[in-house]
């Protein structure tokens, strides 16, 4: 629209500029002037008549017209579609399984029993006997010895004189003495004794036990299946459209300008071209993205739990009582009699002779010096008694224990393994093949049909009123001067102008008055 308006304005400007040119064109005027000149030169004259002419000029007009516009329209279309749903199907199938049944049977077996057996065995035993013997030994005896020693006495003087005296001396004497001694002698003798032996005895007994038997039965049960359900939900969707806007902005523009400057050297003025930066405002189109919101319908798939009912096989154990024979091992006490060797110590009294050391008093006679104290300092000799050890030798009786090895026979109890035979009940699992019906759940694809809505974009053509700018040629009248008659020379030289094609007369240029 803007371009059409600009083109119309340009056309009107050109028409306006060409109007004076047509009025002043030299089609007739120049010819007339030329003819006048020629007529003046030749003596011919031209007369002009005013005529009213009709011209056309372009005028811009606006009008409202209906324009056909195409736009996209969104609509919902319901369509049918097919989807596959996995449906659980319970199919009864025959299956063979192995069932183990307990079977009891009597099985002979051999076991080992430890039996106590008394076995006489010879053993070597060490016996200690006491033996008396005379052994020489040495002992130390302390004996008093008189040693003379000289002593100075300052105050008294001793006067010695011999005086007889009697003293007692203890003398050790070995005296043999008979004493009674008790000794013990080991005597072996057989003694009867009684012991109790536990003997295992197997006794068959009847017992009642509870056995379980497997029974299969059909039991209804309920299970849950997830079924997909499609729902249509409306929600807001944001989309973007492009909007064109006119934006004015200022840009710098360089322009060359002539500037008069004075030459400092010569003082002359001269023109110099200089670059001048100017600011201009321009208008440009800018595209901007604008978000818009619209409501759309979206299919949402959800799962709904549905309860289904089926039948399954349940194994149930039913108890029942049954009687069987069991070998019960019991122990019985039996009294046994036997003899064993017992060692007994027998005391015996014997008479032995021992050497006994006895101290006996013995009367001795001697002379002793009696000292009288005289108050004078004299040198005296005194007897000092000193105990000295004296080694003595003697004989003593020593009791020595002498080991002797003797061989004795004892009864030793030994456990010997004895193989026994018996019968025991063994439970054996016997496999049996049982055919039964089992419900097998399989998923089978089932084709479902549904209706869903989808958005369809269609192009719709519609008439929209719009304002249109157009150019219309409007007639107008104007007056022109047309030459009425010309001379023969002029008519011969210049053809007459057509009133329809002649332009308005041009202004006078020759300086003569035209008639």
Place of tokens 């409306």: 234
DSSP 22-45: HHS-TTTHHHHHHHHHHHHHHT--
Helix (H) or strand (E) run with residue 14 in it: helix 2-23
Chain mean position to CA 128? 83
Joined tokens for residue 12: 């009107």
Q: Which residues contact 402 (CB under 8 A, 6 or more apart)?
A: 128, 129, 130, 131
Handedness of CA 364, 367, 372, 373 (dihedral sign): negative
pTM score, whole prediction = 0.20
Q: CA 345 to CA 1: how far, in whole Å? A: 155
Closest CA to 15 of 57, 49, 45: 57
Q: How many CB atoms lie within 10 A of CB 225?
A: 13
Q: Could you give the angle at the alpha carbon of 192 between the alpha carbons of 187 and 195, nearest 5°?
A: 130
Across the 515 residues of the chain, what is the mean pLDDT of every consecutive 10-residue run? 62 60 40 38 66 87 85 83 84 83 85 82 80 84 81 74 84 83 84 86 86 86 85 85 84 81 79 81 82 86 86 86 84 85 85 82 83 75 80 83 82 82 83 84 85 83 86 88 61 42 44 42
Q: CA 167 to CA 363: how far, in whole Å? A: 6
Q: CA 222 to CA 112: how far, in whole Å? A: 61
Q: Strands 378-485 and 157-262, how do they pair? A: unpaired
269-to-171, 260, 264 alpha-carbon distances in Å: 181, 6, 9
Closest CA to 158 of 370, 382, 372: 372
Closest CA to 431 of 93, 103, 95: 103
Joined tokens for residue 14: 């050109």
How many CA atoms within 13 Å lie on the side-chain side of 124? 3
DSSP 450-512: EEEEEEEEEEEEEEEEEEEEEEEEEEEEEEEEEEEE--HHHHHHSPPPPTTTPPPPPPP-SSS
Q: How many CB atoms lie within 10 A of CB 508?
A: 13
DSSP 77-140: EEEEEEEEEEEEEEEEEEEEEEEEEEEEEEEEEEEEEEEEEEEEEEEEEEEEEEEEEEEEEEEE
Handedness of CA 397, 398, 401, 402 (dihedral sign): negative
How many residues are listed for the chain in this entry?
Answer: 515
Alpha carbon dihedral 17, 23, 28, 34, in 10-degree steps, equals -90
Q: CA 440 to CA 93: how far, in whole Å? A: 7
Burial pattern 393-419, b for ≥16 Cβ within 10 A else e, equals: eeeeeeeeeeeeeeeeeeeeeeeeeee
């Amino acid at each position: 629209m803007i371009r059409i308006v600009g083109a119309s304005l340009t056309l009107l400007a050109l028409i306006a500029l060409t109007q004076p040119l047509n009025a002043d064109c030299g089609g007739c005027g120049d010819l007339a002037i030329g003819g006048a000149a020629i007529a003046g030169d030749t003596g011919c004259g031209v007369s002009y008549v005013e005529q009213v002419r009709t011209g056309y000029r372009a005028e811009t007009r606006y009008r409202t017209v209906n324009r056909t516009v195409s736009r996209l329209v969104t609509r919902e279309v319901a369509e049918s579609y097919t989807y596959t749903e996995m449906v659980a199907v319970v199919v009864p199938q025959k299956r063979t399984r192995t069932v183990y049944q307990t079977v009891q049977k009597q099985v002979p077996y051999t076991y080992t029993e430890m039996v106590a057996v008394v076995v006489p065995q010879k053993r070597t035993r060490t016996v200690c006997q006491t033996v008396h013997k005379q052994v020489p030994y040495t002992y130390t005896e302390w004996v008093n010895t008189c040693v003379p020693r000289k002593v100075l006495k300052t105050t008294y003087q001793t006067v010695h004189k011999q005086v007889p005296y009697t003293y007692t001396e203890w003398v050790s004497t070995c005296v043999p003495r008979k004493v009674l001694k008790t000794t013990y002698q080991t005597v072996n003798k057989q003694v009867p004794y009684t012991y109790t032996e536990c003997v295992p005895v197997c006794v068959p007994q009847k017992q009642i036990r509870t056995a379980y038997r497997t029974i299969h039965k059909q039991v209804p049960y309920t299970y849950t299946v997830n079924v997909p359900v499609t729902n249509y939900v409306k929600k807001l969707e944001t989309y973007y459209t492009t909007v064109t806007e006119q934006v004015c902005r200022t840009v710098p523009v360089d322009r060359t300008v002539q500037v008069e400057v004075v030459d400092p050297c010569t003082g002359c003025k001269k023109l110099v071209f200089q670059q001048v930066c100017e600011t201009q405002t321009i208008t440009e189109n800018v595209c901007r993205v604008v978000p818009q919101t619209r409501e759309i319908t979206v299919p949402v798939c959800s799962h709904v739990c549905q309860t289904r009912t089926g039948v399954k096989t349940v194994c149930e154990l039913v108890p029942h009582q049954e009687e069987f024979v069991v070998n019960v091992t019991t122990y019985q006490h039996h009294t046994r009699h036997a003899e064993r060797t017992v060692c007994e110590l027998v005391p015996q009294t014997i008479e032995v002779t021992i050497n006994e050391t006895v101290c006996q008093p013995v009367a001795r006679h001697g002379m002793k010096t009696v000292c009288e104290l005289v108050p004078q300092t004299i040198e005296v000799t005194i007897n000092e008694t000193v105990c000295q050890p004296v080694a003595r030798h003697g004989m003593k009786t020593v009791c020595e224990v002498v080991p002797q090895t003797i061989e004795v026979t004892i009864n030793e109890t030994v456990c010997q393994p004895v193989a026994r035979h018996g019968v025991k009940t063994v439970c054996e699992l016997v496999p049996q093949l049982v055919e039964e019906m089992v419900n097998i759940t399989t998923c089978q694809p089932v084709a479902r049909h549904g209706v869903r809505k989808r958005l369809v974009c269609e192009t719709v053509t519609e008439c929209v009123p719009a304002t249109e700018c157009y150019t219309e040629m409007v007639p107008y009248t104007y007056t022109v001067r047309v030459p009425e008659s010309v001379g023969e020379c002029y008519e011969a030289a210049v053809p007459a102008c057509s009133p329809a094609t002649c332009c308005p007369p041009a202004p006078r240029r020759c300086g003569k008055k035209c008639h």
